[in-house]
Amino acid sequence: MVNFYLTRNPKYMYVFRRCLTFKQVIYMALIVSTKTKFEEVINMVLLST
């Protein structure tokens, strides 16, 4: 699901590939489990790096 979304949005795919760490993987798991809006999670990831 998340991979499909990322591949359809180059900006997010770039962020995902650039900032991929264990912490970001946790955030990706959180979005799926909490149904949070994807942009909000990306913003949290960017602010945390």
Tell me the residue ranges of DSSP E strands in 1-49.
Answer: none
Residue pLDDT, tens place only, 27-43: 777 777 666 567 777 77
Instruction: Give the least confident one: 5-9, 12-16, 39-43.
Output: 5-9
Higher-pLDDT residue of 1 and 15 is: 15
pLDDT of residue 27: 75
pTM: 0.28
Helices then strands, counting H and E runs in the chain, come out as 4, 0
Q: Which residues contact 14 (CB under 8 A, 6 or more apart)?
A: none
Residues 32, 9: Cα–Cα separation, whole Å:
17
Residues 45, 37: Cα–Cα separation, whole Å:
13
